[in-house]
C-alpha cells in the first residue's frame, strides 16, 4: 500500500513526525537507513529562516533534497510562509508541510502552530499562499481542534483540500490537551470522512499493535510516529514490516547497537560541532540507554561527560553492560 501525493508515492505509509530538537538531519538519516516512507524535518520558523545568513547550517544542511524528506514550515504571515516555501523548494524539497499542530506556548503565543485553528479564515490564507508559491506537494499537520469546544479539524481539512493541500496529518488530541491523556484515534475518522485526499493518523503510535488500532479506529491511510521512536530508530521499519509486508529490519543488539549509537553520536558532532553536538546528543544517548536498561552510574557518566572522546569511550561499557545484564536476568 502507498499514499500518493500527485506523482509522488509514500510507500509504506509509515511516517516520522516532525519533532523540534529531535528530527534533525542526523536522526532522519538514521531512521531512513532502517526504512521509512517519509521523514519530516524539524519545524522551520518562516520569518527566522528568511533572515538567516546564507550558508548557515539551517540552510546549508537542512537535507531538503533527500528523496523521502518533507520540510515543515510554520508562521503567522502569508508572505513569509510563501517565501520560505519557495526557498526550500529551490533547495530541492520534494514535499512541504504546514505546521498547524504544534501546541508549544512559544509557538502558539506567536499565533502560529495550533493557534491557527482558532482562526480558520486566516489559516486558509496561509495555506493558499504556500500552495500557490510552489509546484511540489503541500501537506498539512494539525490537531483535532484548539479545545473540546472547537473540534474543527474536519472543516479545516475540507477547506485545505479545496485550496490544494494533498495530504492531512491529524494528531488525535486538541491543542489544550498538549500530550496528556490518550490520543483519540476514532475522532480522526470525521476528518477522513470529510475529505478525499489521504489522511494520516498521529499520536501515541509506538508499535505495530498501536498502529493497527489507530488505522482501524480512524480509517486513516497511514500512520505517523513521533515519541515512540525515541531510542529506537527502527520502529517505523518494524511497523511497516508488520502492517505492509516491508522488509523486516535487523534490530541492532550488543556490539551492533554500540556501533549504531556511536555512529549516530559522531554524526551529531559533525553536524553541530563539538560543544553543541555534545549537548544536543545527550537526549538521544539517554533514550538509547533507557531502552537498554543501562545501569544508573554508567548512564550518569555518559550524560555528564564533557569530552566527546570520553563519551565514546564509555558507550561500549554502558550499552554492553546493559546488554549483558538483560541477558542474565
Q: Same structural domain for residues 154 and 227?
A: yes
Task: Indicate the annotated binding residues.
Answer: 18-20, 72, 141, 171, 226-227
Name residues whose C-beta falls within 8 Å of residue 137's C-beta, 6 or more positions apart in sequence.
Answer: 5, 6, 8, 94, 95, 96, 166, 167
**Within-domain flag for 190:** yes
**Rounded mean pLDDT of 281-287?**
96
Domain count for the chain, please give it: 2
pLDDT value at 57 more than 60? no
pLDDT recorded at residue 187: 98
Q: Is the pTM value of this prediction over 0.85?
A: yes
- In the structure, what pLDDT confidence band is assigned to residue 328 with cuts at 50, 70 and 90? very low
Do 51 and 197 lie in one domain? The reply is yes
Burial of 306 (0-12, 13-18, 19+ CB in 10 A): exposed
Task: Tell me, yes or no, whether 193 lies in a domain.
Answer: yes
Q: What's the whole-number mean pLDDT along residues 111-131? A: 93
46-55, 207-216, 284-293, range with the lowest pLDDT: 46-55
Q: Give yes or no: residues 240 and 261 share one domain.
A: no
Catalytic residue selected from 102, 176, 280, 327: 102
Specify whether 280 is catalytic.
no
Q: By three-state DSSP, how is residue 143 classified? A: strand
| Last residue in a domain, options 244, 277, 292 | 244
Cβ-based neighbour number of residue 289 at 10 Å: 23
Cell of 123: 489559516
> In this structure, what C-alpha cell is assigned to residue 208?
505495530
DSSP labels for 307-323? SHHHHHHHHHHHHHHHH
pLDDT of residue 56: 47
Instruction: Please check whether residues 224 and 261 belong to one and the same domain.
Output: no
For residue 282, being part of any structural domain is answered with yes
Higher pLDDT, 115 or 327: 115
Average pLDDT over residues 232-253: 96
pLDDT reported for residue 162: 98
First to last CA, the chain: 40
* Residue 81: inside a domain: yes
- Strands 8-10 and 3-5, sheet pairing: antiparallel
Q: What is the mean pLDDT of residues 59-82?
A: 86
Report the distance separating Cα 281 and Cα 292, nearest Å: 17
Q: Does residue 250 lie in a domain region?
A: no
Distance in angstroms (rounded) separating the CA atoms of residues 73 and 49: 9
The pLDDT confidence band at residue 131, using thresholds 50, 70 and 90, is: very high
Whole-angstrom distance, CA of residue 228 vs CA of residue 206: 4
Last residue of a domain, one of 244, 272, 300: 244
Q: Quick one: 180 and 61 in the same domain?
A: yes
Asked if residue 142 and residue 261 are part of one domain, the reply reads: no
Residues 94 and 205 occupy one common structural domain:
yes
Confidence check: pLDDT of 329 > 70: no
**Quick one: 177 and 280 in the same domain?**
no
Query: Residue 113's domain spans which residues?
Result: 3-244
Residues 186 and 115 reside in one and the same domain: yes
Last residue within a domain, chosen from 213, 244, 275 = 244
- 146 pLDDT above the threshold of 80: yes
Q: Which pLDDT does position 1 carry in this prediction?
A: 73
What CATH number does residue 76 fall under?
3.20.20.70
Residue list for the binding site for FMN: 18-20, 72, 141, 171, 226-227
- pLDDT per residue over 149-202, tens digit each? 889 999 999 999 999 999 999 999 999 888 888 999 999 999 999 999 999 999
Bond preceding residue 12 cis, omega within 30 of 0: yes
Residue 102 belongs to some domain of the structure: yes
Residue 327, pLDDT > 50, answer no
145: in domain: yes
pLDDT of residue 321: 52
Instruction: Tell me, yes or no, whether 277 and 210 share the same domain.
Output: no
What is residue 22's three-state secondary structure?
coil
In this prediction, residues 308-317 reach a mean pLDDT of 94
195 and 95 in one domain?
yes
| Domain identity same for 226 and 282 | no
For residue 52, is it within any domain?
A: yes
Amino acid at each position: 500500500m502507498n499514499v500518493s501525493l500527485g506523482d509522488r508515492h509514500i510507500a509504506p505509509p509509515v511516517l516520522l513526525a516532525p519533532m523540534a530538537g529531535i528530527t534533525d538531519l542526523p536522526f532522519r538519516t538514521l531512521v531512513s537507513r532502517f526504512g521509512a516512507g517519509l521523514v519530516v524535518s524539524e519545524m522551520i520558523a518562516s520569518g527566522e529562516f528568511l533572515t538567516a545568513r546564507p550558508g548557515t547550517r539551517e540552510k546549508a544542511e537542512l537535507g531538503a533534497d533527500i528523496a523521502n524528506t518533507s520540510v515543515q514550515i510554520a508562521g503567522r504571515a502569508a508572505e513569509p510562509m510563501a517565501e520560505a516555501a519557495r526557498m526550500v523548494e529551490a533547495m530541492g524539497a520534494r514535499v512541504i508541510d504546514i505546521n498547524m499542530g504544534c501546541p508549544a506556548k512559544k509557538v502558539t503565543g506567536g499565533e502560529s502552530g495550533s493557534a491557527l485553528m482558532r482562526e480558520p479564515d486566516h489559516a486558509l490564507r496561509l495555506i493558499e499562499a504556500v500552495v500557490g508559491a510552489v509546484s511540489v506537494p503541500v501537506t498539512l499537520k494539525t490537531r483535532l481542534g484548539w479545545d473540546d469546544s472547537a473540534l474543527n479539524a474536519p472543516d479545516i481539512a475540507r477547506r485545505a483540500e479545496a485550496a490544494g493541500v494533498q495530504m492531512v496529518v491529524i494528531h488525535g488530541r486538541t491543542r489544550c490537551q498538549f500530550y496528556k491523556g490518550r490520543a483519540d484515534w476514532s475522532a480522526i475518522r470525521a476528518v477522513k470522512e470529510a475529505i478525499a485526499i489521504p489522511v494520516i493518523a498521529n499520536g501515541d503510535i509506538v508499535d505495530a499493535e498501536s498502529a493497527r488500532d489507530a488505522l482501524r479506529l480512524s480509517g486513516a491511510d497511514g500512520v505517523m510516529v513521533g515519541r515512540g521512536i525515541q531510542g529506537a530508530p527502527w520502529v517505523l521499519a518494524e511497523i511497516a514490516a508488520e502492517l505492509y509486508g516491508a522488509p523486516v529490519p535487523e534490530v541492532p543488539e550488543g556490539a551492533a547497537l554500540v556501533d549504531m549509537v556511536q555512529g549516530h553520536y559522531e554524526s551529531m558532532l559533525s553536524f553541530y560541532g563539538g560543544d553543541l553536538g555534545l549537548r544536543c546528543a545527550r537526549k538521544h544517548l539517554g533514550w538509547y540507554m533507557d531502552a537498554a536498561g543501562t545501569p544508573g552510574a554508567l548512564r550518569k557518566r555518559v550524560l555528564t561527560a564533557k569530552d566527546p572522546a570520553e563519551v565514546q569511550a564509555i558507550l561500549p561499557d554502558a550499552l554492553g553492560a546493559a546488554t549483558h545484564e538483560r541477558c542474565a536476568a
